[in-house]
Structure 1
Amino acid sequence: MDNNVKNMVGKVFKDMADALETGQFGERVRVGITTFGSEHGVENIVKGAEIAQKRDSSIEVVLIGPKVDSQLTQVVVGTEEEGYKKMEELLDNKEIDSAVTMHYSFPIGVSTVGRVLTPGKGREMFIATTTGTSSPHRVEAMVMNSIYGIITAKAMGIENPTVGILNVDGAVQVERALKEIDKNGYKINFTNSLRADGGSIMRGNDLLGGVPDVMITDTLTGNILIKMFSSYTTGGSYESLGYGYGPGIGEDYDRTILILSRASGIPVVANAISYGANLAKGNVKEIAKEEFKKVNNAGFKEVLKGLNKEKKDENSEEITPPEKEIVTGTISGIDIMELEDAVKVLWKNKVYAESGMGCTGPVLLVNENKIEEAIKILSKEGYISNESNIC
């Protein structure tokens, strides 16, 4: 802690010196970044962070990880897990405005909006979404993703972003739902495909050309897309282009946390930090509150309920969850479409559980002391095939 206090004191004097040098006397945006976990090493993250701060004097980058040789502000932690906890603490205490990290598990209902540079015309485009899961139900998730993408684009200064829906399973249902919301008063600026027949359902050509400001898709497809946009020039092992997987957005979610891949290279690290800083400057949290208020007034929740009426009727049995427990144990390997049903099976068997989503897929969260019991129940019920599912 002594080193951290010294760093914070040093920050005050550094801010004064920077203000005298640059003439910028306002409060700088502070962006934290965890440095553990990159496939390219800690140095890869540090170099990207140094580039981000050097090119924008309004940003202060805070490294969260092992002690390194850098002039950047550092908060020293010993492990990757400690890094996540410290990052959350700094965010919650408002000591940093946003954060960038890798392999972070968001709760169901929160997913990330990526930002890429499209090769066809060099346009920037938001992909909603790229990690996390807005809902276990595909169409519902894509409708939610649409709002998340609009929020992010507005926070980045696009007042009336154009929206397109990628032509994947469920796209027509998504379009129908969004047009109902639009008709109810939440205006959506649908774009047109560059193909001759037009329409707001987007083709591969529209992806390459960056036709919409916000491209709506399911998260798994979005994850593949951003990996391809980020590393198509390098063969896939090093992400060299774009701004990363973006911020986790969700109703009532109050942390601005952006995701990088473990394969993200120095340029993407630098861009992701800049992305996080600009979201903080654009007041993404307040914009999210305003947009959710407006879309809810347009019957958003009712439209979502209508999408899953048949599914919910099939699973209408009411199950009361057992007493809530601390859930730090994770179980993977469950299909996303069965995740919520698996939670209810555990509840029915008196094991408290919650659903979540990591960068590698859906997870169930249970108390660490009940992992073995939970796995046996899930295996018996056919949700997992073996006992090698502990994350």
Structure 2
Amino acid sequence: MTDRTAIKQEVGRTLLSFAEALDREEFGPKVRVGLTTLGSELEPIHLVKGAEAAVRRSPGLEVVLIGPKVDTTLETVEVNDEADMHKVMEKLLDEGSIQACVTMHYNFPIGVSTVGRVVTPGFGREMFVATTTGTAATHRVAAMVKNALYGIITAKAMGIENPTLGVLNLDGAKQVERALKTLKSNGYDLNFSESVRSDGGSIMRGNDLLTGSADVMVTDTLTGNIMMKVFSSYTTGGSYEAMGDGYGPGIGEDQKRIILILSRASGTPVVANAIQYAASLVKGNLIQVMKDELAKAKKAGLDDILAGLTAETKKTEATEEKITAPPKEIVTGSISGIEVMDIEDAVLVLWKAGIYAESGMGCTGPVVMVAEERVAQAAQLLAKAGYVGMEGDTC
């Protein structure tokens, strides 16, 4: 046997061994991520091509499309209605057919907000933006404190053991910083970053957004949403998001599903990145990390800190009454146009009238969700109470 023949045989054995290892899942268990394909402002092909690209890049990743049948070799669960699509998505997640899903226009409850990930243009650093959609709390400063924790949870699930944290210089930033420092002094492990500006500190300036001075950048959700759109589409003129990993996973105390958000303008590269982001969060055991970190924060006095921040918030007559929820109903109808600070009071107005309702985040901001057949009645009650216009905006 010649040396050349021996080398060929050895290479063949190595490749065969590699293939067998993949079959035995020695490179980690397979991860199945769903992608819903209805609701984009772009043609469906952009979503499908993104899913196919993610699969090509990642051995062991399987993507399940949820939406209309399209020309692809990827597994597809056929759904032709957007409302049904999210019901199917939730069913697949709950039964374990998929472990995470990437979607658009999904209503998270109040208390849940999403952590996006971008590549900053200054030094090409990855940065988590906490948060980008949803509402962690109806009190601005309390929400930003929770956003900080949500960013840390996501970064840790992505493999960053001790992520650095900065607070963007917005209204309430100093209060947020004080609250987080109290949490740290009480025993919760926080690693504050330093601004690149000469005076340093953990309050981040615009320069820090460009350089990626912190692994986790804390902001209010609306500002974070704008930041994501700018980072994702500043090279394309805004109509097509070409960069970054999307708006990220919904994080919150009662969140049991790994659901990541895309914009309706997210293009093929962002779709592919978001799917890989989802797969990495599954491998990083996001749900368990979330439970562990929130438990540590609560042990360090998180609840008391948040209560102190909201203690001065004026309570309305509705919140002072003891109102119990009517029997629970399936809520697929939504009413928008309500200020986030009023959303819980609006829910109580409907409860008082015997209509079951929940708060959430919809296509244009906070929504009150009720049964489809109760939307008109609920909108009239909320209009009469002054929470919405007489037309009762619906998403």
TM-score normalised to structure 2 length = 0.92
User: How far apart in 1 are the matches of 2:149 and 2:297?
Assistant: 8
Tell me how far apart the structure 2 counterparts of residues 322 and 252 of structure 1 sit (CA, whole Å): 19
Deviations 1:123-150 (A, max 9, x none): 0000000001111111110000011000
Partner of 1:324: 327
Residue type matched to 1:73 in 2? E
Partner secondary structure for residue 188 of structure 2: coil
1:296 to 271, 295, 298: 298
Change (3 A) 1:154 1:338: same
The alignment status of 1:375 with 2:374, answered yes or no, reads no
Work out whether 1:387 is the aligned partner of 2:391: yes
Which has the higher mean CA deviation after the structures are superposed, 363-372 or 126-135? Answer: 363-372
State whether residues 379 and 392 of structure 2, in contact with CA within 8 Å, keep that contact through their aligned partners in structure 1. no
Q: How far has the Cα of 1:343 moved from its partner?
A: 1.6
Q: Residue 210 of structure 2 corresponds to which residue in structure 1?
A: 208
Give the residue type in structure 2 aligned to 1:210. Answer: G
CA distance in 2, matches of 1:313, 1:371: 26
1:114 alignment partner, one of 113, 116, 132: 116
**Among residues 55, 70, 78, which one is paired with 1:76 in the alignment?**
78
- Mapped partners of 2:335, 2:17: distance in 1: 48
- Look up the match of 1:183: 185
Cα distance in structure 1, aligned partners of 2:17 and 2:246: 28
1:129-140 alignment, distance < 5 Å: 129-140=131-142
Kindly indicate whether the alpha-carbon contact (under 8 Å) linking 1:116 and 1:226 is maintained by their aligned counterparts in 2.
yes
Looking at structure 2, the residues matched to 212 and 154 of structure 1 have their Cα atoms a distance apart, in angstroms, of 14
Deviation at 1:360, TM superposition (A): 2.2
Q: Does 1:155 align with 2:154?
A: no
Determine helix, strand or coil for the equivalent of 1:310. coil
Q: Alpha-carbon deviation of 1:367?
A: 2.4
Give structure 1 stretches of 5+ with no counterpart. 1-16
| SS of the residue 1:311 aligns to | coil
Tell me the alpha carbon deviations over residues 355-381 of structure 1, each in whole angstroms, 9 at most, x when there is no partner: 111242100012223222221221122
Query: Partner of 2:85: helix, strand, or coil?
Result: helix
Aligned pair partner of 1:350 in 339, 347, 354: 354
Matched, 1:361 2:360: no
How many residue pairs were aligned?
375
Q: Would you say the 8 A contact 1:142–1:216 is kept in 2?
A: yes
Q: Find the aligned partners of 1:18 and 1:273 in 2 and give their Cα distance.
A: 28
Question: Once the two structures are superposed, what CA deviation does each residue of 1:218-259 show, in whole Å capped at 9, x if it has no partner?
Answer: 101100000000000001000000000000001121100000
Q: Which residue of 2 aligns with 1:243?
A: 245
Indicate yes or no: 2:342 matched with 1:338.
yes
Q: Which residue of 2 aligns with 1:260?
A: 262
Say if 2:272 is the partner of 1:277. no
In structure 2, relative to structure 1, the CA distance for the partners of 1:45 and 1:372 (3 Å cut) is same
Match of 1:41 in 2: 43
Q: How many Å separate the matches in 2 of 1:377 and 1:384?
A: 9
Q: 1:18 to 1:335 in 2, by over 3 A?
A: farther
Q: Secondary structure at the match of 2:345?
A: helix
Query: Given residue 155 of structure 1, which amino acid in structure 2 is its aligned partner?
Result: A
Change (3 A) 1:19 1:381: farther
> Is the 1:151–1:288 contact (alpha carbons within 8 Å) kept by the matching residues of 2?
yes
Distance 1:383 1:75 in 2: 39
Cα distance in 2 for partners of 1:111, 1:18 equals 44
Indicate if the aligned counterparts of 2:336 and 2:362 stay in contact, CA closer than 8 A: no
2:34 partner amino acid: G
Partner of 1:143: 145
Structure 1 CA distance, aligned partners of 2:316 and 2:42? 47
- Give, in whole Å, the separation in 2 of the partners of 1:237 and 1:217: 24
Cα distance change, pair 121–153 in 1 and its aligned pair in 2 (3 A): same
Partner residue, 1:8: none
Equivalent pair of 1:252/1:289 in contact (CA under 8 Å): no
- CA offsets per residue over residues 308-339 of structure 1, 9 Å max, x none? 00115566613313413312221001111211
Shift of 1:192: 0.8
AA of the residue aligned to 1:245: Y
Partner of 1:12: none
Give the alignment's Cα RMSD to 1 decimal: 1.7
Q: Distance in 1 between matches of 2:40 and 2:21?
A: 33
* Post-superposition offset of 1:349: 3.1
Structure 1 residue matching 2:35: 3-state secondary structure: strand
% of aligned pairs identical?
Answer: 61
Residue-by-residue CA offset, 1:201-231 (whole Å, 9 max, x unaligned): 1000000111000000010110000000000
The answer (yes or no) to whether the contact 1:190–1:200 under 8 Å persists in 2 is yes
TM-score (norm 1): 0.92
Counterpart amino acid of residue 266 in structure 1: T
- In 2, are the aligned partners of 1:18 and 1:24 still within 8 Å (CA)? no
**SS of residue matched to 1:61:** strand
